[in-house]
Structures are given as structure tokens and as C-alpha cells.
């Protein structure tokens, strides 16, 4: 309950800073309706109006200005207290994270690095896999967290949107005529031998690109792009995938981005209502810290 109330205060202060609920939600990596609902519930609980809502920006009422000053003091004291507690607390344990191949894993990696400095006895176990396996292992309790590519159904999950997006394109042999192009088109994709991602199957291919799986020349599928890259090197076909995963420098491969541009983001997910271990909770709070903008 205390954690939830403190989160509402952070939402409130971010809206005060941005003077716009949508901008605040984007910086907090949560949905705009979530922030709006939390503010409405906060005003109802306090029995007063905190904001004067205009067409483009919102301003604090007198009561809101007073509450903002109090909220800053509360969070400052809370953060200082929690920092002191964590310095004295020896957190240990194993945390399991199932992850898709995504550039946004960098945020999670940075959080793991900072967590390791503060609590070296926490062991993080990363498992590279696809969304289907992540959902299954989260449900069975094997994974504490998952990093999944969007779009994905998050009905049964709490989640944090991770920053950054990866662009879709074709991984081809460097001697291929396609490698000489700056971009590839959907027509290029439709007229080449393809190695396609298993995640989401034909529905995802249709939703992302408007292409019908049955109309494509699919020679193989994959759940990890590294394995698909070996198939590309062997001349099996060209892999449709995300950039930034395979390092093509000094290799026989090239990544050619798709035009029109198509990109996918990712989210950190965990089961709703799940009681996280102390170690898992520590990782979650560290990831939140990585996503929270700092004041100069």
C-alpha cells in the first residue's frame, strides 16, 4: 500500500513538472488513462481540486501548490530513508528474466549492473527466448520477469514500457543484390526466400506488414535471430528481423532496413498479483530508477 501511494505522488509531481498528463505519462512509461485515473482518485481522497485543467496545459490550484511542496518533501525523505536501509540490508537470491532479443534490454542490463554494485549477492539469470515461452514460464513461476516485444497481450501482467525501438528489415548475405540497396520494400520481402520469426506467426506478420504468410516463400522460421543468421550465411534465405541484434561488421551479412519504416518496442512484464522475492523486487525498483528522469 505504501509503495502504491508513493507511486501516485511521483505521478502527481511528474504532471506538475510537465504541465501535461500525456507528456507525464510518456516520461513515466505508463498509459495516459492510468495517470489520469490516479490523479482523479488522489483528488477524491483529498477532497479538493489540485489542478486547473486548460486546453493544452494544466496549472496547480492553491491547494495543489501546497500539496506539491509537501509531496516533494515526503518523497525526498522517503528516498533518503530507503537508500539508508538498502545500504545496511544484504539482499541475496536468484532472479530469472526471460527475454526476447531487443535493444531495449540495455536498460535492464544497466539496472542489473547498478543492482550488482549495491547488492553483489543477487544473481540475475537471463534466458533468451520468445514471447510464448516467456508467458508460459511466468505463469509457472519459473521466470520472475519477461522482456517481450510489442504488440503483445498484457492483460494478466503488470508492465513497464522500456525505452527505445528497433527497426524491422532483412538480414541478407553481403553479396546479395539486396545488400546494395539502402532499404528494402514490402515487394522485395514478398519476392525473396524468407526466414520468418515464429513469435505471433502469420497474424503478427499481417498486423505489422500487411502481408499474408501463405503468399510468402517461407523456407524456415526462427525464435532467435542469431540462429537465423546462420541460415542466412548458409544461403537458406533472408531473415526478416530487428536491427541491432546481429553485429554484421566484418561478417558475410548485411542488415537492410524496411521502407516504409516499421519499428517495435518492448516491455518488462510480470504477473499481476505476484508476490516478488526481495531480490526480484530490488531489480524491479532498480529498473524503475533507470526509467525515472533525474532532476538537475
pLDDT digits over 2-15, tens only?
A: 555 788 888 888 88
Task: Calculate what percentage of the chain has a pLDDT beyond 70.
Answer: 93
Position 295 scores a pLDDT of 44
pLDDT digits over 28-81, tens only?
A: 888 888 888 888 888 888 899 988 876 677 888 889 888 888 888 788 777 756
Contact 177, 130 (CB under 8 A): no
Position 73 scores a pLDDT of 79
What is the bridge-based pairing of β-strands 157-173 and 253-257?
antiparallel
How far are the Cα atoms of 12, 27, 50, 74, 134 from residue 67, in angstroms, in the given order?
Answer: 10, 21, 8, 10, 42
Contact 68, 13 (CB under 8 A): yes
R_g (Cα) of the chain, nearest Å: 23
Which set of grid coordinates corresponds to residue 126?
A: 537471463
Position 18 scores a pLDDT of 84
Helix (H) or strand (E) holding 204: helix 201-209
Q: Identify the CA nearest to 253 among candidates 180, 194, 173, 177.
A: 173
How far is Cα 148 from Cα 132, in angstroms, rounded to an integer? 9
Contacts of 186 by beta carbon, 8 Å cutoff, 6+ apart: 209, 210, 211, 258, 260
What domains can you pick out in the chain, each with its CATH number? 2-88 (1.10.10.10), 92-164+265-291 (3.40.190.10), 166-263 (3.40.190.10)
Average model confidence (pLDDT) across the chain = 88
Q: Identify the CA nearest to 134 among candidates 149, 112, 151, 117.
A: 149
Burial 236-263 (b: 16+ CB within 10 A, else e): ebbbbbbbebbeeeeeebbbbbbeeebe
Amino acid at each position: 500500500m505504501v509503495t502504491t501511494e508513493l507511486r501516485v505522488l511521483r505521478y502527481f509531481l511528474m504532471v506538475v513538472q510537465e504541465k501535461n498528463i500525456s507528456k507525464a505519462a510518456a516520461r513515466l512509461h505508463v498509459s495516459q488513462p492510468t495517470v489520469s485515473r490516479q490523479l482523479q482518485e488522489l483528488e477524491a481522497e483529498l477532497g479538493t481540486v489540485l489542478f486547473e485543467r486548460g486546453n493544452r496545459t494544466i496549472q496547480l490550484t492553491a491547494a495543489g501548490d501546497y500539496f506539491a511542496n509537501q509531496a516533494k518533501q515526503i518523497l525526498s525523505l522517503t528516498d533518503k530513508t530507503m537508500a539508508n536501509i538498502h545500504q545496511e540490508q544484504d539482499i541475496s537470491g536468484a532472479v530469472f528474466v526471460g527475454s526476447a532479443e531487443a535493444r531495449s534490454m540495455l536498460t535492464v542490463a544497466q539496472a542489473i549492473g547498478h543492482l550488482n554494485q549495491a547488492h553483489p549477492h543477487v544473481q540475475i539469470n537471463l534466458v533468451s527466448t520468445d514471447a510464448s515461452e516467456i508467458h508460459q514460464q511466468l505463469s509457472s513461476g519459473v521466470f520472475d520477469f519477461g522482456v517481450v516485444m510489442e504488440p503483445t497481450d498484457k492483460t494478466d501482467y503488470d508492465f513497464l514500457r522500456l525505452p527505445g525501438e528497433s527497426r524491422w528489415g532483412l538480414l541478407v548475405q553481403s553479396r546479395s543484390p539486396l545488400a546494395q540497396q539502402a532499404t528494402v520494400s514490402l515487394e522485395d520481402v514478398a519476392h525473396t526466400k524468407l526466414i520468418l520469426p515464429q513469435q505471433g506467426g502469420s497474424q503478427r506478420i499481417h498486423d505489422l506488414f500487411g502481408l499474408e504468410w501463405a503468399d510468402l516463400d517461407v523456407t524456415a522460421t526462427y525464435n532467435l535471430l542469431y540462429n537465423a543468421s546462420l541460415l542466412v550465411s548458409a544461403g537458406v534465405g533472408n531473415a526478416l528481423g530487428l536491427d541491432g541484434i546481429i553485429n554484421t561488421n566484418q561478417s558475410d551479412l548485411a542488415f537492410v532496413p524496411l521502407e516504409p519504416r516499421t519499428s517495435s518496442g518492448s516491455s518488462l512484464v510480470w504477473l499481476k498479483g505476484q508476490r516478488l522475492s526481495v531480490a526480484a523486487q530490488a531489480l524491479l525498483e532498480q529498473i524503475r530508477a533507470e526509467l525515472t528522469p533525474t532532476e538537475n
